[in-house]
């Protein structure tokens, strides 16, 4: 097992504003007394956080610390992944976890926190499950939180994000795992890899379907999703 659990990957797919051959008018406009100027909006997300870096190939590296000598009951380092909409358009953001390796069965969330415009959700705190839908291990993380309500998502969770205002524009996830205290000797020398992938497109039902597929169950809900307005 490598001395570092480096979780590689990040593919950020930004969809073009062309759907079905027709250019969609997702623009900002500025009108003057003699002319009207249209400026194309921008679609961009930024990913960073503690324990998160980008390698020379543009892959996201998530570092859970030194896990080379983990024993049952040991903890990984906590990692926070921060996604921010830094463009000028409201977006639909989509996130997918992929886990592999035998150790993924016995790496249990010790701290799992999601923070976005809807609130700060402590799913698991210091090994205690606070919200029943929390995944039981790293493998279950791959279908969370849609495994019950929307089985046709293929693991892609979606949320609407606004533009840069510090209130509506972010989606943060904090992860820390514990090696199951009851794990047997068969897990000695085993490893695990966790990958996370993001996609983003305009917060529009047709744009979301073009990116995620016509059968994506949350397309309309995300397109219609209202967020709190920063009145400060």
User: pLDDT by residue (tens digit) across 41-50?
Assistant: 666 777 777 7
Residue 20: the pLDDT is 29
User: pLDDT by residue (tens digit) across 141-184?
Assistant: 988 876 546 667 888 999 999 987 888 899 999 999 999 999 98
Residue 24: the pLDDT is 33
Using CA atoms, how far apart are residues 81 and 87, in angstroms rounded to an integer?
A: 18
Residue 178: the pLDDT is 94
pTM for this prediction: 0.78
Using CA atoms, how far apart are residues 145 and 136, in angstroms rounded to an integer?
A: 12
- Mean per-residue pLDDT for 201-206? 91
Q: Where are the domains of the chain?
A: 4-224
Residue 221: the pLDDT is 92
Residue 17: the pLDDT is 30
Percent of the chain at pLDDT exceeding 70? 74
> And the tokens for 53?
């870096």
Tell me 156's DSSP state: -
Residue 228: the pLDDT is 58
Using CA atoms, how far apart are residues 208 and 129, in angstroms rounded to an integer?
A: 32
> And the tokens for 122?
């402590």
- Mean per-residue pLDDT for 59-83? 83
Residue 108: the pLDDT is 95
- Mean per-residue pLDDT for 13-32? 31
Residue 106: the pLDDT is 92
Question: Is 43 within 8 Å of 91 (Cβ atoms)?
Answer: yes
User: pLDDT by residue (tens digit) across 73-130?
Assistant: 999 889 899 889 888 889 999 888 888 888 889 999 999 999 999 899 999 999 999 9
In this structure, the dihedral spanned by the alpha carbons of residues 217, 226, 46 and 143, taken in order and rounded to 10 degrees, is -30
170 or 68, greater pLDDT = 170
């Amino acid at each position: 097992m490598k001395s570092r659990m480096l979780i590689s990957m990040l593919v950020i797919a930004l969809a073009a504003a062309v759907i079905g051959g027709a250019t969609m008018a997702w623009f900002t406009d500025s009108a003057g007394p003699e002319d009207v100027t249209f400026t194309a909006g921008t679609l961009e997300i930024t990913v960073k956080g503690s324990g998160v870096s980008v390698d020379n190939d543009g892959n996201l590296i998530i570092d859970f610390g030194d896990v080379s000598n983990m024993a049952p009951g040991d903890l990984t380092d906590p990692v926070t992944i921060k996604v921010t909409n830094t463009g000028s358009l409201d977006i639909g953001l989509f996130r997918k976890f992929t886990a592999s390796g035998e150790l993924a069965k016995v790496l249990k969330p010790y701290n799992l926190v999601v923070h976005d415009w809807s609130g700060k959700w402590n799913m698991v705190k210091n090994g205690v499950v606070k919200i029943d839908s929390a995944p039981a291990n790293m493998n279950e993380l791959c279908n969370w939180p849609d495994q019950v309500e929307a089985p046709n998502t293929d693991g892609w969770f979606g949320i609407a994000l606004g533009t840069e205002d510090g209130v509506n524009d972010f989606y943060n996830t904090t992860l820390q795992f514990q090696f199951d205290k009851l794990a047997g000797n068969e897990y000695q020398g085993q490893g695990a890899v966790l990958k996370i992938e993001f996609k983003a497109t305009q917060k529009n039902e047709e744009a979301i379907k073009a990116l995620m597929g016509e059968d994506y169950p949350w397309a309309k809900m995300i397109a219609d999703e209202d967020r709190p307005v920063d009145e400060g």
